[in-house]
Each structure stands twice: as structure tokens, then as C-alpha cells.
Amino acid sequence: MSHLQVPTVSLSAYAYLLSELIQYAVDRANNVQELEDRLDGVGYEVGARLIERISYGERALRRKPEILDILKWIHSTAWPWIFGKPADSLEHAAAAEDEFMLSDFDLLLSRFISVPKAYGGFTAGSLAAGMVRGMLACAGFPARVSAHVIEHRERPKTTLLIKFDPVVMIRQAQLERK
């Protein structure tokens, strides 16, 4: 974990800011996909700036060009900055070499959201997906990131599916050959 102090923000301030952000996006979206795309875009910008902020002065991120290293950094260093704790799991997808899953039970983003019936398929995890996509892109690991909510026992589980671009997989293969 990073030696940097993880900042704390009051939960009510966090909930208010998130509520306003989502309301702003809802007012400008015509459907669920457009709403999720808008939140993903905002998340991308946040993620791009967050990686700069956290990695400022932290040399570990700059020296590790491998996929697993950046994912572990997001899981254990960046996630606590955003959500106050590390993500619950990081897994390599069994079906594809270029896919990984980052999961969080009861994602803080989803805790304060009440979704209108018209937006029934909406997941606030699209904001987190955008953040992860932004961090990965700025670190040189372009990927598609999508959010999926799975009802898991009594609490929801948000899983971000990360699918790396072929250029990242080629680079990874070259690193493994060395």
C-alpha cells in the first residue's frame, strides 16, 4: 500500500456531491445508456487526475509496466483513496487472457442512489468504471471497463470487467519473454 495518507471526506458531503453529479447527468440523459456514458466520461476525467495525484512522488507505479502491477495498484492504493477501503477482490477472468475483474461489495457509489423506474437497468458503478478506465489509460494500459451489479446474498456486488486493448497484451507478452 502507498505511504501517502488516504484523505477522508465526510460521508454526507460525499453523498451530496454524488447525488448532485448523478442528478445533473440524469437531467441531460435521454436513456440509461446515455446516463451511464455521461457518468463514465466524468469518471474517466476523475481517474486521470486521481492517478496523477496519487502517483505524484510515488515511483513504484512508474517502474512497473505489467498488467498485474497496475491492477494491484488500483485495487490496493487508488481504491482506498476513492472509497475508503481496498476493493474486495481482483481476479483474472478464466475465459479470456485479456480480461480481469475488480469487485466491491456494497459499492459506496451505489449506497446513496435511488433509481427511477424509467432507469431500472442503471448502475452507479459506471462512474467507478470510468475512473478505472481513466487511471489505466493514463498509465499506458488502454482498456474497456464496464460495470455490472450482481445480487450476492444480502448485499449487491459491483464488478468492473476490464478488457485490455490488444496493444497492451502484445506488450505484456514481450515483457514475459524477457
DSSP code for 153: T
pTM, whole model, 2 decimals? 0.87
Residue 1 forms part of a structural domain:
no
Average pLDDT (155-168) is 93
pLDDT per residue as tens digits for the range 67-110: 999 999 999 989 988 888 999 999 999 989 999 999 999 888 77
The answer to whether residue 3 is domain-embedded is no
| Domain presence at residue 145 | yes
DSSP output for 89-135: EEEE-SS-TTEEEEEEET-HHHHT----GGGTT--THHHHHHHHHHH
The CATH number assigned to the domain holding 84 equals: 3.30.1380.20
Inter-residue contact 125 to 107 (CB < 8 Å): yes
State the residue range of the domain holding 73.
11-177
pLDDT tens string 108-158: 877 767 666 777 778 889 999 999 999 999 999 999 999 998 877 777 889
SS3 143: strand
- What pLDDT band is residue 52 in, cutting at 50, 70 and 90? confident
Number of domains in the chain: 1
User: 3-state class of 140 per DSSP?
Assistant: coil
Could you tell me if residue 4 is inside a domain? no
